Amino acid sequence: MTHYLKKNIPLQALHTFGVEAFAEYYFDIHTLEDLDTILRNYPEIPKPVLCLGGGSNIIFRQHYAGTVLAMRLMGISIIEETDDTVTVRCAAGEQWHSLVEWTVNQGWSGIENLALIPGTCGAAPIQNIGAYGMEIKETIIAVEWYDFASGQKNIFTNEQCHFEYRDSIFKKELANKGIITAITLQLSKKPDIRTSYADIRRILEEKHITEPTVRTIFDAVVEIRTRKLPDPKEYGNAGSFFKNPVISIEHFRHLQQSYPEIPHYPIDDITVKVPTGWLIEKAGWKGFRRGDIGVSPKQALVLINYGKAHTEEIIALSNDIVQDIQQRFSITLEREVSII
């Protein structure tokens, strides 16, 4: 079984921020049996154990003194179809965008607004990926999970996943305790077209589309993301570096007195979400560069590796931004990206 085991593997090409880093031990997981084999044959593998999907929401410190399991389980299948719905099971190693594209090609609705989000299907529920008025929690009906300690395969229902904004049980209580092996989604044959997002409406108007379809929404999202978000193939980045904060309505009204134009999304009667990209731009950081690390000139929520940035420099810049936003707006930003 030694062909499974790899040591001191470079991680630079295995995560989208692209910093130089090494994993002490590394395994590719191609089958569920690989997981059993690894845990049975190598009980001494260094802990912690980290599951790596597309590496699009993670930044490594220089040396990962543990074991990286790279998720390579593949396969998409239809498990049930009715007149109105289609239930699709997708293995964790499939690329998320490929799944979205495939469902859109069939004309099915439910994840078209989530086009072009980098990463794998297995990683998608961990932070409840969301964009342009849609979240994966709306279509997920099951998440298959392999528990490291017991070797048991469990199935979590949607409710058991405890989904929240960019959060789930897999990011909290179950972090590093197991691995997602597949997800099951229920899609609709009767499209629920979501155009609430101003950017989507703008593109549809530009193209004179008055009756949008699943395909035209997908195309619009691809266009917006391509315009606004830096391509990790060009410059290392991990999408949104911070979450959008939720603040009290009193706090928001106070800010509005100084900044009447501040964008905001009401959450309920007492709280409001404000976009971090706006706060960071207003504070003057947009396009800022220090050595090989910077704030994207296109979208201030994204930090960029211009070449050989080190994780410590990324942390230092992000801490400076957090401190500045705290001083200016009395808002504490929370990182969305995991630093391991």
The residues carrying an active-site annotation are: 166, 240, 336
Q: Which is nearer to ligand EPU, 155 or 198 (CB)?
A: 198
Greatest CA span in the chain, whole angstroms? 66
Could you tell me the smallest distance in angstroms from the CB atom of residue 118 to ligand EPU? 8
The residue (of 148 and 285) whose beta carbon lies closer to ligand EPU is: 285
- Give me the least distance between CB of 40 and ligand EPU, in Å please: 37
In the sheet that 289-290 helps form, which strands lie side by side, from edge to edge?
236-240, 302-305, 293-295, 289-290
Asked if 100 and 111 count as a contact pair (C-beta separation under 8 A), the reply is yes
Task: Tell me the DSSP string of 41-83.
Answer: H-TTPPSPEEEESS--SEE--SEEEEEEEEE----EEEEEE-S
Q: Nearer to ligand EPU by C-beta: 66 or 275?
A: 275
CB of 163 to ligand EPU, least distance (A): 14
Distance of CA 91 to the CA centre of its chain: 17
Provide, rounded to whole angstroms, the least separation between the CB of residue 232 and ligand EPU: 11
Q: State which residue, 36 or 192, has the beta carbon closest to ligand EPU.
A: 192
Q: What is the distance, to the nearest Å, from the Cα of residue 15 to the centroid of all Cα atoms in its chain?
A: 12
- What residue type is assigned to position 251 of the chain? H
Strand duo 338-339 + 265-266: pairing: unpaired
CA distances from 191 to 59, 77, 131, 264, 315 (A): 37, 21, 17, 28, 42
∠ at Cα 297 (295, 300), nearest 5°? Answer: 55
Nearer to ligand EPU, 153 or 228 (CB): 228
Please report how close the Cβ of residue 133 comes to ligand EPU at its closest, in angstroms.
7
Residue 10: both structure tokens together = 């470079």
- Nearby residues of 144 by Cβ (< 8 Å), 6 or more positions away: 92, 153, 154, 155, 156, 180, 181, 182, 183, 184
CB of 293 to ligand EPU, least distance (A): 17
- Cβ closer to ligand EPU: 49 or 301? 301
Q: Which two tokens stand for residue 192?
A: 């629920």
Is residue 153 helix, strand or coil? strand
Name the 3-class secondary structure at 88: strand
Q: Which residues bind ligand EPU (CB under 6 A)?
A: 131-132, 199, 228-229, 239-240, 243-244, 263, 275, 277-278, 281, 286, 299-301, 336
Based on CB atoms, which residue is closest to ligand EPU, 145 or 288? 288
CB of residue 271 vs ligand EPU: minimum separation in angstroms? 15
Residue 72 main-chain phi, psi, to 5 deg: -125, 15
